[in-house]
Homo-oligomer: A and B are copies of this chain.
């Protein structure tokens, strides 16, 4: 079993038009910049993959990462909790022009829906959003005298993840708070594609320290010294 792919281009051939794509990261922490940019390059060269649904906590910042996908015109729909950022122009312009759809999901519900997708739980109840616009049209039920909203699992065709260490069997660790949504997305996607800062031999990660077990991972590309979205933005990257 060897999940290591030689290049991002190879690994990304699983991404096709119209797919749903979960992208790890919260703000810049955990954003798989090289992976996203490889996908943008492919789109600019070939016109594919387009019409994507992108699932991420945010909706891009500045002109790199998900914002670059939006500027390129690859994204038809965003599922996120917070489509604002220090420079949200890429998303905001398209959204206000009606050129991109938005499904707004409270952050905890987004995380739990993705986990449910990975864990085979088709629906669950949460107190979050009860009595708000977000809950409109969703089933409501009372448990022990308190009202809850039924939410559905969220799965995706592909997850794009940034890990710290990886081995060829797919075991992953994450750096600090770059973990955020990535372990959940790795569970919830048909194909999970990982850029890892360092690939180690199996056993190179202590079994007690593995965060994402290999069963949730399909393809790994080593990207040493990866870029950090927030650092890029502060350098004024376009």
Contacts and interface: CB of A to CB of B under 8 A. Distances in A.
Contacts of A141: 123
A148 interface: yes
Contact of A143 (B123, B125, B148, B207): B123
Number of this chain's copies in the assembly equals: 2
Contacts of A116: 124
Interface in A37-52: none
B122 A148 contact: yes
Contact of A208 (B119, B148, B209): B209
A32 to B, nearest CB: 19
A182 to B, nearest CB: 13
Given A121-B126, A122-B143, 20 more contacts: A112-B119, A112-B121, A121-B124, A121-B125, A122-B125, A122-B144, A122-B146, A123-B124, A123-B125, A123-B141, A123-B143, A123-B148, A124-B125, A143-B152, A173-B208, A174-B208, A176-B207, A176-B208, A208-B211, A209-B209
